Amino acid sequence: MEREIDRVLFGDNQFFGVNHASEEKARAQAIRFQTTDAIIGVLDSAYDAGIHTFMCTTHDRIGRICTHVRNNSQRYSEFKFYPCMPYAHKYANAVTEHGLLDAMRLFLPEEHAIAALFRGGRSLAFKDMQGFAQLLIDAEMKMFAGLRTPVIFLQNIVTDLLLGIGLKDGFRFFADHVARRYGAEPGFITMNLPRLLDTLEDVGIQNPIVCANINSVGFRMCGGRELYEEAIASRRFRPIAMSVLASGAIRPRDAIDYVCKQKNIRSVVFGASTRAHIVETKNLIDELSGTAAP
């Protein structure tokens, strides 16, 4: 079942020190958002501005946000998460600190059949890559138990790796698993939109949700802006635009005007760290999309 996607989505890069243009700004943001309360304060500003979907990684600290939303369900009655997985640094750090099997025990769902696979130090998952991938997906989804997750995204680090090595069936497996186990639609984040669309079509994923960099200067758009514009105009998929400001290289009004003129773009995801910037960006998207209140 295809779901309606909100026009404006809120991202989480700013909370975890990610800034593609400035390491100094990234460090400053990481320091500012060391506490969960600081993150919640910004999320509340976004929610109160009418942005009800949080597109987030599966960073450990997102688990605390999930707990807060569960504990305040009335306050966040319209709140939705779009988990984006895997969060590769989390696994790399855990394996380094604990070793592979102990690291997996930390993340796996507390289900008898799955936990039993690892208690003896042996798992069919090591012989069956699809089974292993399923365990990883379920491990990532643990923190979202009981919350609304209508779309679950495969991060570009895996999406583009699968594209690079030609492992097309991985996309079909991900799509089928999140639909069957979580009742969610699959989403895919990529730095190579044209190639991904070809691959998803090859494995029978129709009208997919795809999040990609879309901006007027071609920032991190593999193949160039013109190929992206052609794909958006002519191919059947549901585009979500990210990096629309090209990490600050484009003035907000110009950046959002460009994206809103691509009529088939369904949604825009952005991150901001202050209420003023959140409201400004949301209002610009509404105005230039023609959905602003009269």
Q: Which of 30-44, 200-214, 275-289 has the lowest mean pLDDT?
A: 30-44
CATH architecture of 8-87+149-289: Alpha-Beta Barrel (3.20)
pLDDT grade for 46, boundaries at 50, 70 and 90: very high
- Is the pLDDT confidence value at 107 over 90? no
CA 290 to centroid of chain Cα atoms = 26
Binned at pLDDT 50, 70 and 90, residue 193 comes out as very high
Mean pLDDT of the region 43-48: 98
What's the rounded Cα separation, in Å, for the pair 165 and 171?
12
**Confidence class for position 33, pLDDT limits 50, 70, 90:** confident
Quote the pTM value: 0.87
